[in-house]
């Protein structure tokens, strides 16, 4: 959308003077502050928010929408923590499982040749420390040297370093030497300590999550960031969360992408809460894209909100639909996501993106374009 078209939208909008002033600021490329972010959440019209977010996205990436050939390995659902929103751990599912290192290496070896990235994350197993996880990376690295290894959320890292008695910096260096390329964004939830006490009071605090990612960035390990939204948090908590991520990104520039994660209410201790609407999902994407002006990418994780909603998200600032995934993650299907077997063919993903008016672009883990379709 061109500036003139957005100006017309602003003029015709029933939005108040506050929204109009913030919109002009966004079009001029100026950073909005926390009060303005909250104001957008509370009073921004969805169509206007989408146009502004897409304006920013197209300035960064044109019409391109990225995807990657990737798959997941989830080592275990056994977890020392018991987050109230979690539907994945053995506490909620009633059954526990864990793979041997050998089995996980076999999975990596068996993955199709076109795979570019392996995402490894799971429960925080009480028995395994740094040696176990570094060893796993080393074996996979030797078996599939071409794969980008994105592994272990900050929560898993915090526990394995503590268990093995190493500092954060020492632990990350050891993992890097054994093949770690980047770390995923999980475990961030909502940084606000009061909300955290109510939804996941027994695991690492938000400031530890930020410290782990900042240290990783300084060691040349890139990462992603997430935010769990749509439960008991309010707009102010969301903007505080985005503000802390924006400040960290100003310091390091080490984040690749931001991934909003929707709270799903099946099979967990917070099932009494209704899930937020798809309109709220789109609003959250749009405000995130506007607020995180220093994040290169915004991802819609399609196994979580479904393929059709992910397609719609491409009109609300999203430029990345993750990947083919290959039916290799259970995290969202266990929480009640519509797609019980999350996998999509390459043709299916390309059609999804094209039908949204975007140009499909296969990427590597650092967002280098490998092929445009
Ligand atoms: S969200 Fe992660 S850390 Fe929390 S209980 Fe579930 S698997 Fe464990």
pLDDT digits (tens, 9 = 90+) for 113-169: 999 999 999 999 999 999 999 999 999 999 999 999 999 999 999 999 999 999 999
Cβ atoms of 262 and 276 within 8 Å: the answer is yes
From the CA of 203, give the closest atom in ligand 1. Answer: 3
Residue 60 has pLDDT above 90, yes or no: yes
Which of 288, 280, 298 is CA-nearest to residue 46?
280
The span from the first CA to the last CA of the chain, in angstroms, equals 22
Q: Whose CA is nearest to atom 4 of ligand 1?
A: 83
Domain-wise residue ranges, the chain: 3-58, 65-372
**Substitution site in 76, 124, 125 for ligand 1 pocket (most atoms within 8 Å of beta carbon):** 124
* Overall average pLDDT of the 78-92 stretch: 93
More confident: 292 or 329: 292
State how beta strands 297-298 and 359-363 pair.
unpaired
Residue 362 has pLDDT above 80, yes or no: yes
Q: For residue range 308-338, list pLDDT tens digits in order.
A: 899 999 999 999 998 876 655 666 566 556 6
From the CA of 186, give the closest atom in ligand 1. Answer: 2
124: CB partners within 8 A, 6+ apart? 79, 80, 81, 155, 156, 159, 203
Question: 77 CA to middle of ligand 1, Å?
Answer: 8
Superfamily name and number for 65-372: Aldolase class I (3.20.20.70)
Question: 153 CA to middle of ligand 1, Å?
Answer: 10
pLDDT of residue 10: 76
Mean pLDDT of the residues in the chain: 93
Q: For residue range 197-216, list pLDDT tens digits in order.
A: 999 998 878 999 999 999 99
Residue with tokens 């502004």: 52
Identify the residues whose C-beta falls under 6 Å from ligand 1: 79, 81-83, 86, 88-89, 123-124, 155, 200, 203
**Substitution site in 92, 123, 128, 199 for ligand 1 pocket (most atoms within 8 Å of beta carbon):** 123
pLDDT of residue 348: 87
* Overall average pLDDT of the 269-277 stretch: 96
Residue 1 has pLDDT above 70, yes or no: no
User: Which segments of the chain does DSSP mark as H helices, in order?
Assistant: 3-12, 17-27, 34-43, 46-61, 90-93, 101-110, 130-143, 154-164, 168-177, 193-200, 206-218, 235-252, 278-291, 302-305, 307-313, 346-355
Distance between CA atoms of residues 98 and 269, nearest Å: 23
* Overall average pLDDT of the 39-43 stretch: 97
Which of 311, 320, 303, 166 is CA-nearest to residue 255?
320
Residue 340 has pLDDT above 70, yes or no: no
Cβ atoms of 73 and 118 within 8 Å: the answer is yes
More confident: 344 or 361: 361
Cβ atoms of 81 and 155 within 8 Å: the answer is yes
From the CA of 122, give the closest atom in ligand 1. Answer: 7
* Overall average pLDDT of the 20-44 stretch: 96
More confident: 53 or 339: 53
222 sits in which H/E element? strand 222-229
**Substitution site in 74, 76, 79 for ligand 1 pocket (most atoms within 8 Å of beta carbon):** 79
pLDDT of residue 104: 97
Which of 86, 81, 93 is CA-nearest to residue 126?
81
């Amino acid at each position: 959308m061109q500036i003139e078209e957005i100006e017309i939208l602003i003029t015709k909008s029933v939005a108040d003077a506050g929204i109009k002033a913030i919109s002009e600021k966004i079009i001029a490329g100026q950073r909005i502050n926390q009060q303005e972010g909250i104001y957008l959440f509370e009073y921004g019209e969805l169509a206007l928010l989408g146009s502004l977010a897409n304006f920013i996205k197209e300035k960064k990436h044109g019409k391109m929408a990225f995807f990657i050939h990737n798959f997941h390995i989830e080592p275990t659902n056994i977890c020392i923590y018991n987050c109230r929103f979690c539907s994945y751990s053995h506490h909620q599912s009633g059954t526990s499982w864990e793979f041997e290192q050998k089995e996980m290496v076999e999975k990596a070896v068996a993955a199709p040749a076109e795979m570019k990235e392996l995402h490894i994350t799971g429960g925080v197993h009480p028995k395994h420390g740094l040696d176990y996880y570094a060893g796993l990376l080393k074996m996979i690295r030797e078996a599939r040297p071409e794969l980008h290894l994105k592994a272990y959320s900050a929560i898993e890292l915090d526990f394995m370093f503590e268990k093995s008695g190493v500092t954060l910096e020492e632990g990350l260096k050891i993992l890097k030497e054994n093949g770690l390329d980047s770390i995923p964004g999980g475990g961030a939830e909502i940084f606000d300590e009061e909300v955290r006490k109510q939804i996941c009071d027994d695991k690492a605090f938000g400031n530890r999550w930020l410290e782990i990612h900042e240290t990783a960035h300084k060691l040349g390990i890139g990462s992603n960031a997430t935010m769990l939204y749509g439960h008991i948090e309010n707009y102010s908590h969301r903007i505080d969360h985005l503000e802390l991520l924006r400040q960290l990104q100003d310091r390091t520039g080490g984040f690749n992408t931001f991934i909003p994660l929707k709270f799903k209410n099946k099979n967990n201790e917070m099932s009494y809460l209704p899930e937020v609407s798809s309109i709220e999902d789109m609003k959250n994407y749009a405000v995130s894209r506007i607020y995180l002006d220093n994040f290169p990418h915004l991802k819609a994780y399609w196994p979580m909100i479904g393929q059709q909603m992910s397609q719609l998200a491409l009109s609300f600032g999203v430029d990345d639909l993750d990947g083919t995934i290959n039916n290799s993650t259970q995290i969202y299907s266990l929480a009640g996501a519509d797609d019980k077997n999350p996998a999509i063919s390459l043709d299916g993903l390309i059609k999804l993106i094209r039908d949204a008016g975007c140009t499909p672009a296969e990427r590597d883990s650092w967002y280098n374009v490998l092929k445009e379709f």
